[in-house]
Amino acid sequence: MIKNILLLIFAVTIVSCQNASSNKSLNSLPVGNSATYTKEFPEFGFAITAPCQLNNVSNQSSGNFEANFGGIVNQEDRENMAAYQVIVNKLPVGYKNLSDIELEEFIDKTISENMAGFRNVRKISFSDEGYLGYVGDSENNGLKQRGVVFSKGRFIIALTVLSNSNLVERFNKFTNSFKVLSNKNTVKSCSTDSNTSINRKPLALGVSVETPCKMIRHEDDSYTWSGTIDENDKNGEIYRVAITKFPTKYSNMGEYDKKKIKNNIMNYVKGKSNYSKANIKVPNYLAYNMSFVEDGYKTKECIVLTDKYTIELILFSSKSVSKSDFNAFVSSLRID
C-alpha cells in the first residue's frame, strides 16, 4: 500500500514570487517590452519561456526544492507587475515500487492536497504530453495568482503567475511555452577502447564511487548517474547511482518520521526476491543489498540510509551481474 512504501517527507508548495520582489537581482522589465527569455532545466527535462529572466530564488523562500526559480516584470508598478515562478520537487524513495495505479493515485492525492489553498481547482491534462495535474486560483498580498501543479516522470512541477493585470493571458502564455527536452545521454558509452581502469568518480553532495567507466548525469534527474564500459555490448554491466536528499537531517527528525522512513525502505527491500544487510564503510542508519530481475535485467542493488540522503547503488545487465564487481562498487562508496 502507498502509505507503507512512500516516504513521509515530501511536499510541493506553491511559493509566491512576491517574497522575492524586493530583491533587485530579479529582472524588472518596463511595460510594453516584448523581450522573452527561455530557461532550460536539462536536469528535469524541460524548458519554459517568460518575459523576464528566471533566477534561483531558493534562498528567498522557505521550503526544500530541487529547483525554485522566479522573476518579475514591472516591479515598481504594482498595477502592471507580474511575477513568474517555477518549482520542482522529486518523488520520494519507493515510488518505483508502486504499481501504475498506486503511483497515479499517490500523485493525484499529493497534488490535490497541495492545492488546498486555491479556489476553482480543477483536474487537467497538462501539455501535449498529457501530464496529470491541477490548476487553481488564489490571492497573495492583494495580487491575483494562478498556479498549475503536475507530475513529470519522478518530478512534481509547479508553475505560477501573480498579477492584477491580464493574469489569465499571462498564465496561459507562460504555461503554453512549456517544452519537453529530449532525454539524451541516459546511459552513454564510457570507453571507446578496452581500457577498463577503475577510478574514483566524484558525483555530487560529497558522494563519490569507483567504477571502470565514466558516470553520466541523467538529464531528467540531477541526482542520478549511469555508465557502462561499452554501450554497444547488450550484455554489458550498467552502473547507476541515485541520490535522494532529505529536507532536513535524519538525526534532526522526529521519531515518527525516522520510523516511517525506515519502514518505507524496508518495505521496498522486502519486495525484492533476495536481500541481506550490507557492510559498507560510510556512516549509515541502514544498508541492504538486493538481487532481483526487473524489466528483463538481472539486478543487484544496495540502498543506504545516511544522515542527509538515501543512496542507491545499482548494477544491472541483461545477461549476468558479477558479484565481485557489485561488491567492489558498493565498497567504493564514500561521502565527504
Strand partners for 40: 47
Stretch (H or E) spanning 103: helix 100-113
Inside any domain, residue 185:
no
Name every residue whose Cβ is closer than 8 Å to that of residue 153 and which is 6 or more positions away in sequence. Answer: 45, 220, 221
- What whole-number distance in Å separates Cα of residue 249 and Cα of residue 309? 8
**Do 174 and 284 fall into the same domain?**
no
Q: What pLDDT is attached to residue 31?
A: 36
**Do 251 and 318 fall into the same domain?**
yes
**Do 150 and 230 fall into the same domain?**
no
Helix, strand, coil: what percent of the chain each, to 5?
20, 35, 45
Report the amino acid identity of residue 237. Answer: E
Q: What pLDDT is attached to residue 101?
A: 78
**Do 25 and 174 fall into the same domain?**
yes
**Do 105 and 205 fall into the same domain?**
no
- Domain boundary, last residue among 145, 180, 215: 180
Number of H helices, E strands in the chain: 5, 20
Give average pLDDT by consecutive 10-residue segment, the chain, 336 residues.
Answer: 25 36 36 70 86 83 74 87 90 67 80 80 86 87 89 87 93 93 44 51 86 80 77 74 88 90 89 88 92 86 93 89 90 90
Q: What pLDDT is attached to residue 139?
A: 85
Are 174 and 168 spatial neighbours (Cβ–Cβ below 8 Å)?
Answer: no
Give me the CATH number covering residue 210. Answer: 2.60.120.1690
Q: What pLDDT is attached to residue 127?
A: 86
Residues in the chain: 336
- What whole-number distance in Å separates Cα of residue 142 and Cα of residue 145? 9
Grid coordinates standing for 214?
565514466
**Do 170 and 283 fall into the same domain?**
no
Inside any domain, residue 193:
no
Are 225 and 241 spatial neighbours (Cβ–Cβ below 8 Å)?
Answer: yes
**Do 213 and 111 fall into the same domain?**
no
Inside any domain, residue 149:
yes
Report the amino acid identity of residue 98. Answer: L
DSSP letters spanning 288-335 = EEEEEEETTEEEEEEEEE-SSEEEEEEEEESS---HHHHHHHHHT-EE
Give me the CATH number covering residue 114. Answer: 3.40.1000
Q: What pLDDT is attached to residue 314?
A: 93
**Do 153 and 216 fall into the same domain?**
no
Q: How far apart are the first and last CA of the chain?
A: 36
**Do 29 and 153 fall into the same domain?**
yes
Q: How many domains does the chain have?
A: 2
- What whole-number distance in Å separates Cα of residue 90 and Cα of residue 156? 6
Inside any domain, residue 44:
yes
Are 214 and 238 spatial neighbours (Cβ–Cβ below 8 Å)?
Answer: no
Inside any domain, residue 97:
yes
Stretch (H or E) spanning 5: helix 2-5
Residue with cell 558525483: 203
Inside any domain, residue 283:
yes
Q: What pLDDT is attached to residue 61?
A: 58
**Do 208 and 176 fall into the same domain?**
no
Host domain of residue 277: 199-335
Q: What angle do CA 117, 119, 121 make, to 5 degrees?
A: 100
- What whole-number distance in Å separates Cα of residue 269 and Cα of residue 301? 10
Inside any domain, residue 189:
no
**Do 113 and 140 fall into the same domain?**
yes
- Domain boundary, last residue among 113, 147, 180: 180
- What whole-number distance in Å separates Cα of residue 291 and Cα of residue 321? 10
**Do 8 and 94 fall into the same domain?**
yes
pTM attached to this predicted model:
0.52
Inside any domain, residue 248:
yes
Of 247, 228, 252, 216, the residue nearest 319 (C-alpha)? 228
